[in-house]
Each structure stands twice: as C-alpha cells, then as structure tokens.
Structure 1
C-alpha cells in the first residue's frame, strides 16, 4: 500500500463547530463570521491532505452548497451525503464511492477540523499504517487526537471495511474494534479544533493560510 484514498466529511457550515462560535469575531458570534471560520478550517485541512504524497484522492462528503462550490473551483471531488444521516454513515458512503472506482483501494477517513495539519505528518502516518498492514498486525489503523479520546484519522487496508466508529470516545472504540493505534507525535494531525482553546493551540502550531486569514484582523 503506497497511497490511500481519503474521505473528508464536512457538515453544513451553519451547523459546524458550534463551540467555536465567536472565535472569529471576538465573541460576538455573528453567523457569517462563524461560517467563514468553519469553511477556512475545512479548506485548509483538505489542502494539506491533497498536498500529501501518499494521498492519491481526496473525496469530500458534504451537502453544503458553499463548501461544494469552493471545492469544485479547486478541482476537489465532492459527493453529497448518503441517505442515512450522521458522520459514520457519511464516511461509509464516501468509502463506498471511492471503492466503486477502485475496489482494491486502501481508504481512510480524515476529520475536517485540522487547520494545522502538515502533509508530511499525514504521509508519515500512512506509511506507518502501511507497515502495520504489511506485517499482518492489523488491517485498520487510527490516529487519536491530542487528548487521546477522539480520532482524527482512520485508515483501512485494501479489501477491508473502513468500519468508522467516530463520536465521543472514538479512540477507545476504534481500538476495541481491532484498529491499531498509530504512535507518532504529529502535533498538527492530532490537533483537531472544537473549542476556542483548541484553536489557540492550533494557531500556536501554525494554521493554514485560509484560517490565518480569518483570524488575522
């Protein structure tokens, strides 16, 4: 497994990252400012993933018209949400779309709230997962978030179901389902952004240009 195809799920901007409301406008919480921030974070995440050498394809799953238009302008593949609601059904739908094009693909799920993600971190995580798969230690692998509770990245070997179990405590659920916990440091890959404090930590690592542009007066 040299490369992987990634699914990135993006919620409708009006509903995304509710705990970040006010982070883009000094606590005012104006809807348009919040949506600009949520969009910037997602676009920076997708850009970093597309720049990784070991990522062959990025497929965004979303039904948000603004997100779809922004990504289409950059040549990013977009699939609408599937018939079932929720994050895990969206990821399974995205994996099915990817494997309809290449049944032998290794596929993965990347969360869309990683504005400090570096392509090299993603490449290292994928390479480590590939070594785990080749050694027969597991057929799925994941990267836990900075707190060790959530999951930012889930990878599955060819001919293996993605079996996403995202949600509160997903790191434990992925581990119990047989996925291998990847031990690399990767601060940008592990720094998902749910709160204002998370965003400050990400900014300290260095966020992408779109997020930086929203946060800089």
Structure 2
C-alpha cells in the first residue's frame, strides 16, 4: 500500500459472535489531541473529528458490532457521528475519560443487557473491520479483556462479557492497570490497525503507512505533501 493510498472500509465475512456494543469517547474537538498541536497546528480539531468519523465508520462495518455508542459533549462531532449511525450520548458525568466510558457502558447494558460491551479508542483512523473482528473473537466468554496500543503502554480496547463490569482505567500506562485489575491481555500479532491510536505526528505517519480512512486522509493531506514537494511539517514528526 503506497503512502497516498486511501484505505477503503472493507466488509468481513459474518462471524459467530454478533451483537457487540462498542463505546467510544470523543473529547470536545477544541481540546482533543493536544499533543498533535505542534505538528498539526490549526488542523488539530479537524483531524480529531476525522479520526472519530473513520473509527466509527470502520466499527459499524464490522459484522460483530451491533451498535456504536459515542459519549461526547461536542456539538459539532455529535451530529456528524449520529449521521453515520452511532448512538450519541451526552457526557453527563463530565469527569473525564473513564467516567464517560462507564456512562456509555451502563447505557449499553440498559438497551442490550445480553450483549458484550467494549470501550474502543476513537482515534484509530486506520481501523480495519476485519482486524477488529479478530480482536473481539479473542475476548473470553466471561470476565474482561484488553488490547494494548502499538507502543505497549496504553490500551485501545477494553471488553467485558455480559454481566461483567467494564471498569475502565484508560489514560497513560493503562496496559499495566488493566492487567493488574485482572483483565486478560489479547496478544494477537496481526491487528496493527486496532493498536494504532494517534497522539503525535509520528503516530499519524505510522497510521498513514497502514492506510488511513478517507476522512483522515483528506484532513491530513496538507501535512504530507506529495514526493518532490517541500514539506514544512517534516521536522515536527
């Protein structure tokens, strides 16, 4: 796949465990992805929105996923994500990432009490439905499980079986916290798009090498000029 290729969202064959509820948190765009600031400048809010739109589109294309719930207070992101088919919830707790995820998981339990629930990072712009399907298939029928991010420090997905509390502990070195809390670590070697969240310019370049979703590819295009053109952002990676 070349660097300028836009990855289509491909369907995957029907799986044996449908019905997942996925909960995604989306920060107010003006505050989101602060570590991209030096690299992306004024493009940062648009990139944050594009990440979320491509992540939700890919998640909804996964046949194992029955519903996607987005928890956000952002008045621009909410309607756009709802137009994709996500159920958008107001971030009622307002206490940060983990309270938002717990709020979304509780709502998912109310509308689909017999479905498993997973929290998924909303900044996976290279997410492929087929890889998400592989990860969800590895979640045990009881208890909790998680997938570490590409550096092996954070977490991009935390899942729980019906009747089990999600107990999210995202942020910073969350891999160790989720493991210490008794969650099973999923160690699949071939799901890079589910591990590749984006916080920095280097992360975005790595996601681009995997193949960005169409909205992120368009939003990020000014940051990656075509070969031969001067790249004013190169030193910021």
TM-score of the superposed pair, with normalisation by structure 1: 0.91
Contact 2:18 2:63 in 1 (8 A): no
Tell me, yes or no, if structure 1 residue 189 matches structure 2 residue 205.
no
What is residue 164 of structure 2 aligned with on the other side? 160
What is residue 81 of structure 2 aligned with on the other side? 71
Ranges in structure 2 where 5+ consecutive residues have no aligned partner: 1-16, 223-237
Deviation at 1:168, TM superposition (A): 1.1
Distance in 2, matches of 1:18 and 1:45, equals 19
Tell me, yes or no, if structure 1 residue 42 matches structure 2 residue 58.
no
Contact 2:57 2:84 in 1 (8 A): no
Tell me, yes or no, if structure 1 residue 3 matches structure 2 residue 46.
no
Distance in 1, matches of 2:194 and 2:137, equals 14
What is residue 233 of structure 2 aligned with on the other side? none
Contact 1:142 1:182 in 2 (8 A): yes
Question: CA RMSD, aligned part only?
Answer: 1.2
Deviation at 1:75, TM superposition (A): 2.8
TM-score of the superposed pair, with normalisation by structure 2: 0.83
Alignment of 1:93-112 (within 5 A): 93-112=103-122
Query: Once the two structures are superposed, what CA deviation does each residue of 1:130-164 show, in whole Å capped at 9, x if it has no partner?
Result: xx22xxxx510000001111000000000000010
Contact 1:2 1:127 in 2 (8 A): no
Query: Once the two structures are superposed, what CA deviation does each residue of 1:12-48 show, in whole Å capped at 9, x if it has no partner?
Result: 0000001112544xxxx12xx2211110011111111
**Which protein has the bigger helix share?**
1
**Alignment: residue pair count:** 205
Query: Once the two structures are superposed, what CA deviation does each residue of 1:166-185 show, in whole Å capped at 9, x if it has no partner?
Result: 11110011011111100112
Over 4 Å off, 4+ runs: none
Q: Give the counterpart of 2:29 among 2, 7, 13.
A: 13
Distance in 1, matches of 2:58 and 2:47, equals 17
Ranges in structure 1 where 5+ consecutive residues have no aligned partner: none
Structure 1 residues 79-88 or 90-99, which shifts more?
79-88
